[in-house]
Amino acid sequence: MDTAQQAILTISLLAAFADGTTDDRERQEIRRVAESLAGESGNAELTTLYQDVLLKRTDLAKAAAALTDPAHKQLAYEMAVCVCNADGVAGPAEQQFLRELRDALKLDIGQAAQVVRDADAVAAAPLAAGHATSSMSDAEMDKYILNHAIANGAIELLPQSLATMAIIPLQMKLVYRIGQSYGYQMDQGHIKEFVATAGVGLTSQYVEQVGRKLLGGLLGAVAGGLGRGLGSVAAGAAFSFATTYALGQLAKRYYAGGRQMNTTLLQQTYQSLLSQAKQLQGQYSGDIQQKARSLDVTQVMNMVKS
């Protein structure tokens, strides 16, 4: 990894722990992400970065000072904002972290504030209007899950960082709709707990997205003003398709079975479904690209807020 990659990933990890309340389950998931990415890429530095952040051997000022390209600074800030808002609107400690990051990167106050406002609007989006929704047949639900997975894969192809932030809210809406179809009254707290119990960490999912994009060549594409690189596109789209598809299928099994799965079974089933989804993704890569061509960030935000 080069200096800029290390700095942005370090900032994202610092953002993940900024509120000081990250529980052991999420910490372990972030550690798993770092080790997994290190193993896949051969970059042992990823595991070291995680340890440096966890043991406070590095800090925000040092990481920010390593970034000199304005585009990389803006990207680092946007990524940090997304991580801080992963499990809901950023709290006071996270807001303070983002102000310190903004100042350390010497970003324009107005532009930074707009990034935060946009992210807050996505994180605060309601799950539904509150009225009952009709049930779906088995085939309709499978199609519904697949369409959401394709849409989230397509969102990863958009150049705006804020678009990526829509993926988790859209996954939560997917679980909400599936639960409703089986007659369950859903709320955000229940869905967050279901997702976390399955092993799909909200914060760690963003950290993994950041890591995959950086390792996929995102910085070179940003510096060249060309949007995301091909490696980044492939990694990000595949990851978001697979996690969304697996989560949807897990929710289908869980609510169809009367919510009887214990924690171990939920986690094992999710990992099995994730493996299947990763194999399935290549079959729909063309659909993902076609969907991306019809999307823009405004449409994505409307999808989250509708």
Q: What is the pLDDT of residue 290?
A: 92
Q: What is the pLDDT of residue 229?
A: 41
The rounded distance, in Å, linking the Cα atoms of 84 and 69 is: 23
Q: Taking 50 as the threshold, does the pLDDT of residue 247 lie above it?
A: yes
Tokens read off for 142: 């499978």
User: How does residue 169 score in pLDDT terms, banded at 50, 70 and 90?
Assistant: confident
Name the average pLDDT for the chain: 83
User: How does residue 218 score in pLDDT terms, banded at 50, 70 and 90?
Assistant: low
Q: What is the pLDDT of residue 257?
A: 93
* Highest mean pLDDT of the ranges 31-45, 75-89, 258-272: 258-272
Q: What is the pLDDT of residue 198?
A: 87
End-to-end CA distance of the chain: 40
The rounded distance, in Å, linking the Cα atoms of 145 and 162 is: 23
Non-local CB neighbours of 158 within 8 Å, separated by 6+ positions: 164, 292, 295, 296, 297, 300
User: How does residue 216 score in pLDDT terms, banded at 50, 70 and 90?
Assistant: low
Q: Give the mean model confidence (pLDDT) for residues 236-241.
A: 83
Percent of the chain with pLDDT over 90: 38
CB-based contact 101:60 (threshold 8 Å): yes
> What is the residue-wise DSSP string for 146-185?
HHHHHHHHHHTTSS-HHHHHTHHHHHHHHHHHHHHHTT--
> 2 vs 175, which has greater pLDDT?
175
- DSSP label of 91: -
The pTM of the full predicted model, rounded to 2 decimals, is 0.78
Q: Give the mean model confidence (pLDDT) for residues 105-111.
A: 95
E strand or H helix that includes residue 118: helix 109-123
Q: What is the pLDDT of residue 232?
A: 46
Surface-to-core class of residue 57, CB atoms within 10 Å of its CB (0-12 exposed, 13-18 middle, 19+ buried): exposed
Q: Taking 50 as the threshold, does the pLDDT of residue 20 lie above it?
A: yes
Q: Taking 50 as the threshold, does the pLDDT of residue 226 lie above it?
A: no
The rounded distance, in Å, linking the Cα atoms of 284 and 273 is: 16
Q: Taking 90 as the threshold, does the pLDDT of residue 83 lie above it?
A: no
Q: Give the mean model confidence (pLDDT) for residues 1-9.
A: 84
Surface-to-core class of residue 148, CB atoms within 10 Å of its CB (0-12 exposed, 13-18 middle, 19+ buried): buried
Q: Give the mean model confidence (pLDDT) for residues 19-48.
A: 74
Q: Taking 50 as the threshold, does the pLDDT of residue 225 lie above it?
A: no
Q: What is the pLDDT of residue 217?
A: 59
